[in-house]
Structure 1
Amino acid sequence: MESVLDFSNVVFASFALWSSVSVLKMMFMGVLTSLHRGAGNVYTNPEDIAMFATKRGVSPNPNDPKVERARRNHLNDLENIPAFVLLGFFYVLTRPSPWLAVMHFRVFGVARIIHTLSYQLSLQPWRAIAHIASVVVLTSMAVQIFSMGQW
Structure 2
Amino acid sequence: MDNILHVYALCTLLLFIKMFAISCYQGFHRIKNKAFRNVEDAGFLKVAAQTTELPQVVRAHQAWLNDLENIPLFWVLGGLCIVLNTNYTMTVWLFSIFTFFRVIHTITYLNSIQPWRTIAYVAGVVCLFIMAIQIIFTII
Q: Note whether the superposition's TM-score is higher than 0.5.
A: yes
TM-score normalised by structure 2 residue count: 0.90
Match of 1:39 among 32, 37, 42: 32
8 Å contact 1:42–1:61 — kept in the other structure? no
The SS at the match of 1:34 is: helix
* Letter in structure 2 aligned against 1:67: V
Match of 2:71 among 51, 74, 81: 81
Match of 1:4 in 2: none
Where does structure 1 differ by over 4 angstroms across 4 or more consecutive aligned residues? none
1:51-70 equivalences in 2 (<5 Å)? 51-52=44-45, 56=47, 58-70=48-60
The SS at the match of 1:148 is: helix
- Larger % of helix: which? 2
Match of 1:114 among 72, 83, 104: 104
Partner Cα distance (2:45, 2:17) in 1? 25
* Letter in structure 2 aligned against 1:18: C
Q: Percent identity?
A: 34
Partner Cα distance (2:41, 2:76) in 1? 34
What is the aligned length?
Answer: 140
Match of 1:49 among 42, 61, 72: 42
TM-score normalised by structure 1 residue count: 0.84
Deviation at 1:11, TM superposition (A): 1.6
1:42-75, Cα deviation, whole Å (9 max, x unpaired): 211111111135xx4x232333211111111111
8 Å contact 2:43–2:49 — kept in the other structure? no
Unaligned runs of 5+ in 1: 1-7
Partner Cα distance (2:51, 2:60) in 1? 15
Partner Cα distance (1:50, 1:75) in 2? 28
Partner Cα distance (2:68, 2:58) in 1? 15
